[in-house]
Amino acid sequence: MRIGVYPGTFDPITLGHMDIIRRGAKLVDRLVVGVTTNISKSPMFDDDERIAMVEREVAGLGGDIRVVGFNSLLMDFAEREGASIIVRGLRAVADFEYEYQMAGMNQQLNNRVETVFLMADVSLQPIASRLVKEIAIFGGDIHKFVSPAVREAVVARIADRGLGQGEG
């Protein structure tokens, strides 16, 4: 069985993430969406909330897609899941530089796991979770970037924290 891991913080999960999940799932027998915390980011949603959000979003996709939280080196997580492939999405040249460096480091840690890059759909390339949150905080409409359920969760979180300057 070929197992792939698609790691990310998914804070929140965007339509760009969903595009990579849909397409990545076609490359493997099982896709494990690994939800982690990036220590350099301040998440809007905690680990359990992000895992639940991703589970809800992938529920209707079909195929063998699992959502698993992790807080370790990616290559250790991939090994635990029995993965032979890491799936990564690329939006722009800037992504490639960072991802290329990460793939090289990961290969040094475990050369039995290959990194596969998928280019984001052209219409979804500009979407980034960080920008989605920023747009929502400043009252912008994020419906083009996330599902209706994720939009509701983001707008509610902004209201709960008193961060917003309008309806998102």
42 is catalytic: no
By residue count, the chain amounts to 168
Triad 99, 153, 131: Cα angle to 5°: 40
User: Do β-strands 114-119 and 30-35 pair in parallel, antiparallel, or remain unpaired?
Assistant: unpaired
129 is catalytic: yes
Triad 112, 18, 48: Cα angle to 5°: 80
Catalytic-labelled residue, pool 50, 88, 91, 151 = 91
| Preceding amide of 148 cis, omega within 30 | no
17 is catalytic: yes
144 is catalytic: no
Q: How far is CA 3 from the centre of its chain?
A: 17
- Beta bridge partners, 89, equal 118
Catalytic-labelled residue, pool 50, 129, 151, 157 = 129
Q: List, by residue number, the catalytic residues.
A: 17, 41, 91, 129
